[in-house]
Amino acid sequence: MMTAAQQDAKAPGAEETVSVLLYSDDVTTREQVLTGVGRRASIDTPRIRWHEAATPDAVVDYVEHGSYDLLVLDGESAKFGGMGLCRSLKTEIYRCPPVLLLIARAQDAWLASWSEADAVVSMPLDPITLQETMADLVRRR
């Protein structure tokens, strides 16, 4: 199965893109990520096609039925946070895309490792750190 970026790259005259699913139940957090990263994580990475989700059920549905190159999950979402969601996705989804987990404090990194996240960024979000971390994950895909 080809990723969304691979399918887009095959279209004649199409610029390569990466498909990123962003999950947070907080619209402000989603806006911070979208604004902090923008259309590209770095000059040497493809354009990003953002998809947003505000509920864990939507994330599971999108990942099961879609094709994403990267998932960005808010570890601080209420009721069912990104850490538990990451752990579930990593154990239940065959070839789960890499996951960038947003955590409240750097001290929570040990819990993020339990969740099998591929990378973490601490809040408050620093746009440079966020961009560099996403760019690294995109380059590794």
Mean pLDDT of 53-79: 93
Using an 8 Å Cβ cutoff, are 14 and 8 in contact? yes
Write down the pLDDT at residue 12.
47
pLDDT above 70: percentage of residues in the chain:
90
Q: Distance (Å, rounded) from C-alpha 141 to C-alpha 126? A: 23
Whether 58 maps to a domain, the answer reads yes
Query: Which backbone phi and psi does 79 adopt, to 5 degrees?
Result: 65, -65
Domain count, the chain: 1
CA dihedral 7, 30, 100, 86 (to 10 degrees): -100
Whether 67 maps to a domain, the answer reads yes
Minimum mean pLDDT range among 1-10, 36-45, 113-122: 1-10
Whether 2 maps to a domain, the answer reads no
Domain range holding 66?
Answer: 15-140
Provide the CATH number for the domain around residue 44: 3.40.50.2300
